[in-house]
Amino acid sequence: MDEDTNNNSLIIVPKRVERIKLHERISHAVNALGFLLAAGTGLVLFYKGLKKLSGGTRSRQLHRVGAALMISAPFFVWGKDWQGWKKTWREITYFSKEDREFLKRAPMYMLGFPVKMPPQGKFNAGQKMNFLMVTFNSAGFVLTGGLLMLRRHLPEKAFPYLIIAHDIQAIVGICGFMAHAYLALLHPDTRPSFRAVIDGTVPVEYALGHHALWSESQKHKLD
Ligand code: HEM
């Protein structure tokens, strides 16, 4: 804790530690914006009845703007720090014994039961799963969406399969997004991490409680 004196009153300012760098936050924001735009306009394309409600906006063009934002998002990270990205990818694709135990206990934790979770590194096993789901689902969107854009050059019978695959990806993506938003905005235990996507920091107590193994490696910054 830092102490700040103001007019003889003592204000305790909780100490914070950096978790997400600026280029990672920009990438996250661009991806979120693109996803929400693509999801919103995708629903209009899916359910034509929504077209009336959308005031006749150009859903198809906006859907492609959302797609372009999603595709551009990882380049903010790849372009700025390729080595850092490779390290993050190695961490995200490695599931330790603690991670596997974390996943077993995660459903009860998400429902709000007081479950003791095993110590975690910079990313907990749930964040790893979310990251992998977003990566592979986005690659799927690019593939099926890209083929849908080229449909005039493809055999006609491919169209329904591409649409069904794209729709399944939309359902998986929207469910994953809702779980992610619930943890970031509503769950009382994980909500304090939300500011990290804006200014990159979390409270030190949060880092110690939720990412004990990572905090150990950041000790020099926490003291
Ligand atoms: C890189 C990303 C994406 C690309 C390239 C892409 C491309 C496309 C294309 C070309 C269409 C057909 C539109 C038309 O001309 O009628 C389409 C439809 C659609 N997209 Fe995407 N899309 C992407 C991401 C997304 C995302 C993130 C979602 C939702 C979370 C989504 C949901 C939908 C839905 C629901 C439809 C309507 C399908 C139907 O008619 O059943 N798309 N998309």
pLDDT value at residue 120: 95
Q: What is the pLDDT of residues 152-201, one digit of tens each?
A: 999 999 999 999 999 999 999 999 999 999 999 999 889 999 999 999 99
Judged against a pLDDT cut of 80, whether residue 222 lies above it is answered with no
| C-beta separation of 27 from 73 below 8 A | yes
Residues 6+ away with beta carbon under 8 Å from 128 = 91, 92, 93, 95, 99
Partners of 18 in the beta sheet? 201
User: What's the CA-to-centroid distance between 163 and ligand 1, angstroms?
Assistant: 8
Residue nearest atom 15 of ligand 1, based on CA coordinates: 60
pLDDT for 88 equals 96
Domain 2-19+81-222 has CATH 1.20.950.20: yes
Residue of 31, 36, 48, 63 to mutate, ligand 1, most atoms within 8 A of C-beta: 63
Predicted confidence at residue 10, as pLDDT, reads 54
Closest Cα to atom 14 of ligand 1: 60
Q: State yes or no: pLDDT of 84 exceeds 60.
A: yes
Tens digits of residue pLDDT in 92-149: 999 999 999 999 999 998 888 888 999 999 999 999 999 999 999 999 999 999 999 9
pLDDT single digits (tens) 14-72 = 689 999 999 999 999 999 999 999 999 999 989 876 666 665 568 889 999 999 999 99
**Does the pLDDT of residue 213 top 70, yes or no?**
yes
Tokens for 133, please give them. 């789901």
d(CA 223, CA 214): 14
6 three-state secondary structure: strand
Residues 49, 77: contact at Cβ < 8 Å?
A: no
